[in-house]
Amino acid sequence: MTVARSFSAGGVARHVVVIGAGAVGSATAIEALRAGLRVTVVEPGEPGGPQATSYGNAGWLSSHSVVPPALPGAWRKVPGWLADPLGPLALRWRHLPRALPWLLRYLASGWTEARVQRTADALRTLLADAPALHARLAAEAGVPQLIERRGLLHAYRSREEFDGDALGWRVRQRTGVQWEEWPAAELRRREPDLDARYTLGIFVPEAGHCRNPGAYVAALARHAQEAGAQRVAARATGFRIEGGRLRAVHTEAGEISCDAAAICAGARSGPLAAAAGSPVPLESERGYHVVVEGASVGPRTPTMVADGKLIAHWMDGGLRAAGQVEIGGLDAAPDWRRAEILHRHLLSMFPALAAQAPEAVAVKHWLGHRPSLPDGLPCIGASAASADIVLAFGHGHVGLCGSARTGKLAAQLLAGTTPETALAPFDPRRFS
């Protein structure tokens, strides 16, 4: 089936503008074309480029990542976050006054296990079939090799360490997530390069992985253009709304007349949402990665270790470790010490990696911005100023994973059809 045939539609199409060509925006554009809409994508940068959030993430299609970052008792950790600028979650002092309202809502969202469960139940509706949805999109875009469906591994040093995460696994189990336990001997057999201090593996078979998120998003954006989407290389700045109806999207390159629009601009969606009458408490969770090119040892399965709070796996460009959360805003300079911490953790996870000759490997660093809302749920729904403007952003740590389903839901809203998933938990009005 050719791209043109797969998106054929008759009659005069409703014109929609998709703001952003990241994972969510590109999926939305593809699904809007599939629904018979005429699509213009507004994106100032190169889709999938180093400036893009998905470019450097861990690549996990973790359909089981339904537990929000804040859990009961998280408030006790705030002093540590402030005191340790290089910890797994850190707050920059200069940004604290601006981030404080977000932080308070963040802590409140995980105050009880019941609240955490409600969040998990909602996220599961976005993520449950994500690996299959991404495999389909990748095949359509001509890059099926970028999506792997071989499961994901969580490694623990002891049963006691696993028990410390019991609430999270209990919540996952209630949403339908299943897993296998690998005792020490099985873990050694499956992951011979992993340090022997890890004695328990929790393997989630349903999950998947993307070998090159940047290339994948670039392929999706290219696929949308080949299917008929127009691209405007500019930044969207606002909207022209008359009588509650959207008439145009304002951009740095001029006005684009349209019937509807979707805000899919990731961590930079806040001002656009406010311009559409729906201000939301959007924050950047700054995340780092390190890639070791030329590495000869590493995991057989994409692996997260509990003690380092990082994810490691092979990407097309080498062995990547990703993680860390830094609350410091969009404009603060990177603190590359945080990437060096990831590198040290990686060497600790795979001791033989440290034995490689320095001249045989090259180490690269990267920083990106996860768009995060304090309750752990994205915004997916109509804006307050006009039902013609759809908000679709704020996925935090599951943006790549949740993008495929979100794209379908956003396209359904743009087309005026009933969404296939209940959107009440994601309604932007919950922050009013």
Q: What confidence tens digit (pLDDT) does each residue in 36-76 have?
A: 999 999 999 999 999 999 999 999 999 999 999 889 988 88
Rounded to whole angstroms, the Cα distance separating 296 from 319 reads 9
**Residue 240: predicted pLDDT:** 98
What pLDDT, in 10s, does the model give residues 299-308? 999 999 999 8
Q: Is the model's pLDDT at 8 over the cut of 90?
A: no
Joined tokens for residue 316: 């097309």
Q: Is the model's pLDDT at 3 over the cut of 50?
A: no
**Residue 81: predicted pLDDT:** 74
Domains and CATH numbers, the chain: 13-68+122-149+207-282+373-432 (3.50.50.60)
4 band by pLDDT with thresholds 50, 70 and 90: very low
Q: Determine the average pLDDT of the residues in 89-101.
A: 90
Stated pTM of the model: 0.95
What pLDDT, in 10s, does the model give residues 364-406? 999 999 999 999 999 999 999 999 999 999 999 999 999 999 9
**Residue 11: predicted pLDDT:** 56
Phi, psi angle pair for 386, to nearest 5°: -160, 130
Beta-carbon contacts of residue 343 (< 8 Å; ≥ 6 apart)? 290, 292, 321, 363
